[in-house]
Chains A and B, each alone.
Chain A
């Protein structure tokens, strides 16, 4: 994937410059220096794997996503590019804002949901099942266009009740083991659960390539892992609960740098 990947690399670096510039203008609760990405808890090998596009396995998904971006689909036989043009321009910074308020329904929608809306309504193509290879590939490709930019959840008052609901879930104990997200990720971040370092749960790299999964996976898949770990009934993919949690996590991580596609153990 040589030439392609180095093109991505260049775009990545360009975006990184932009990202750093706007990062300093951004303010958040905790100073960004106190906040750590899951990347910071990884060993040097995994870090190197993420940083080098030639060895980051998530880049394969990104390439699939790019092909889908340009492929005609559905009864309209329109590609994503037919409406949006060059993703490097039109999708720059887009993933960093999601979830945001869907003006039609007045409820929050995540990036996967928005892509699906385009598929079904605008391309008139079959919906892409969440967590399927194609859905992950397209979100990874769109996500890459925000790499190096700060997470920028919209400061939209209409989202506040949803974000608050997400925060309530984050602090609520769940499951047979009776943990809340906050107990692990706020109170015990940096500690070790068995051998696993507990990260601060910032959703900076999604979709990620998780070595344990040996595939790309979404933030919601990660959250389901955590819930299953606490022996709680996980929320369904695409459920309002997950989107609210995602809103809260993004807000909590606002200003942090997008890493998509991240690599995680």
Chain B
């Protein structure tokens, strides 16, 4: 017989029962994010102004991006996170994102990437409409709060030098 106990649990796909998923999500999302989404203006492929009216904190942003349950970013992206194992390869690397995109462009991609690419698999982190079969516990809630979006934008803006990232990037599709 094998040693079945030897498997690591696997992020979002390890969760078998909805109740568990809920528990882990609610824990990780300790803050109140049932706020009404802030209004924003999309102009020239960007959201120029911070959703909160003030700049975010890059250190907090880095944490959100690296945390599996919170940002989920590394399920798809790689980036300059040498301490994080198991980064996905479904998306362009985050290394150098701050050189390729302006703050406003980054913000739009996080808030609602479908405005840039309607077919994108990247979840819209600040959108609650046009979703189907969202369980009641998540309904009306954005994946990140406005303040968290700003933290992540602030962090991504610091990712300027792709060459130093040491991560092979996958071509953007």
Separation of A192 and B12 alpha carbons in the complex (Å): 13
B133 at the A interface (CB under 8 A) = yes
Separation of A194 and B4 alpha carbons in the complex (Å): 21
A71 at the B interface (CB under 8 A) = no
Whether the Cβ atoms of B90 and A192 lie closer than 8 Å is yes
A126 at the B interface (CB under 8 A) = no
User: Dominant SS at the A interface?
Assistant: loop
Separation of A183 and B76 alpha carbons in the complex (Å): 13
Partner of B133, one of A57, A211, A232: A232
Separation of A173 and B120 alpha carbons in the complex (Å): 11
Separation of A55 and B1 alpha carbons in the complex (Å): 5
Whether the Cβ atoms of B121 and A57 lie closer than 8 Å is no
Chain B 7-26 interface 0/1 with A at a Cβ cutoff of 8 Å (1 = within):
10111111111100100010
Chain B 126-154 interface 0/1 with A at a Cβ cutoff of 8 Å (1 = within):
00000111110010010100000000000
Return chain A residues, CB-CB under 8 Å to B5: 214
Return chain A residues, CB-CB under 8 Å to B86: 194-195
Kindly state the interface size class of chain B when it binds its partner. 35 or more
Closest CB in chain B relative to A239 CB, distance in Å: 12
Chain B 78-103 interface 0/1 with A at a Cβ cutoff of 8 Å (1 = within):
00000001111110000000000000
Separation of A178 and B122 alpha carbons in the complex (Å): 9
Using known A-B contacts A178-B131, A193-B88, A234-B18, determine if residue A211 contacts B4 with beta carbons closer than 8 Å: yes
Whether the Cβ atoms of A233 and B133 lie closer than 8 Å is yes
Within 8 A of A (CB), among B91-124: 121, 123-124
Whether the Cβ atoms of B13 and A226 lie closer than 8 Å is yes
B53 at the A interface (CB under 8 A) = no
Residue of A at shortest CB range from B9? A212
